[in-house]
Amino acid sequence: MMRAVFAFLLAAFCVTSAAYADYGPEKLSDPKLEARAVALQRSFRCLVCQGESLDESNAQLAGDLRRLIRARILAGDSDRQITDFLVSRYGDVILMKPPLEPGTYILWFGPLLILVAGGAIAGVIVYRARLRLRGSP
């Protein structure tokens, strides 16, 4: 039950926390750097909400991380360094796109294998249906 209450509070927080988020000094004046920051914040997940990226989230933590990303960009970090930093701090869970590693092979290749297998079966079905049609006058 506690877990359920907690989950609900988290979900509610995503919506209500707009009351605390600080949008103010988020934007970088250099449009090129700002574009980099926006691209980066789209690739990270808001850790408070389900399914939203840092870009979309109204949660306070998301706002803090958006500013952190910009501070890092101004400090001269590369995208790679920023990503590595956030992953070392929060784990893979912060990446919107799961990394390709042995633990996610099934996730990435499972659907493709099924597509190939399905395609092969479909091929056999069409082949047989064609034989049957041509076999019967």
Partner 1 sequence: MTGELGQFALCLALALSLVQAGAGLAGARIDAAQARSVASGAALGFFVFVALAFGALTYAFVTSDFSVADVYQNSHTLKPLIYKITGVWGNHEGSMLLWVLVLGIYSALMTFAERGGARLTSAALGVQGLLACAFVLFILFTSDPFQRIDPMPLEGQGLNPLLQDPGLAMHPPMLYLGYVGLSATFAYAAAALITGDADRSWARAARPYMLVAWIALTLGITLGSWWAYYVLGWGGFWFWDPVENAALMPWLVATALLHSALATERTGAFRTWSLLLAIAAFSLSLIGTFLVRSGVLASVHAFANDPERGLVILVMLGIAIGSALLLFAWRAPKLESGAEFEIASRETTLLLNNLLLCFAVTVVFFGTLYPLALQSLTGERISVGAPYFAMLFAPAFVVLLILVPFGPRLAWRKDDLKQAARTLVPAAGAALVGAVIVLAFATPRSLAAAGAFALAIWVIGASVIDLRTRLTRHTLSTSGLASVLAHAGLGITLIGIAATTVWKSQSIDVIGPGQSLRVANYELRLDSVEPVSGPNYQAMRANIEVLKDGRDIGTITPEKRSYPAEGQAISDTAIRTTGFSDLYVALGDERGGGRWSVRAFVNPLAPFIWFGGALMALGGLTSLWGRVRVRFARLAPAE
For 23, the 3-state DSSP assignment is coil
One-letter amino acid for residue 135 of the chain: G
Question: What gap in Å lies between CA 114 and CA 109, rounded to an integer?
Answer: 9
Among 31, 88, 93, 137, binds partner 1 (CB under 8 A): 93
Among 4, 32, 76, 137, binds partner 1 (CB under 8 A): 4
CB of 69 to partner 1, least distance (A): 15
* Residue 89 binds to partner 1 (criterion: CB under 8 A): no
* Residue 50 binds to partner 1 (criterion: CB under 8 A): yes
* Residue 71 binds to partner 1 (criterion: CB under 8 A): no
DSSP 30: S
Task: Report whether 96 contacts 53 (CB < 8 A).
Answer: yes
How far is residue 70 CA from its own chain's centroid?
19
For 13, the 3-state DSSP assignment is helix
Residues that bind partner 1 (CB under 8 A): 1, 3-4, 7-8, 10-12, 14-16, 18-24, 26, 43, 45, 50-53, 56-58, 91-99, 103-104, 106-107, 110-112, 114-115, 118-119, 122, 125-126, 128-130, 132-133, 136
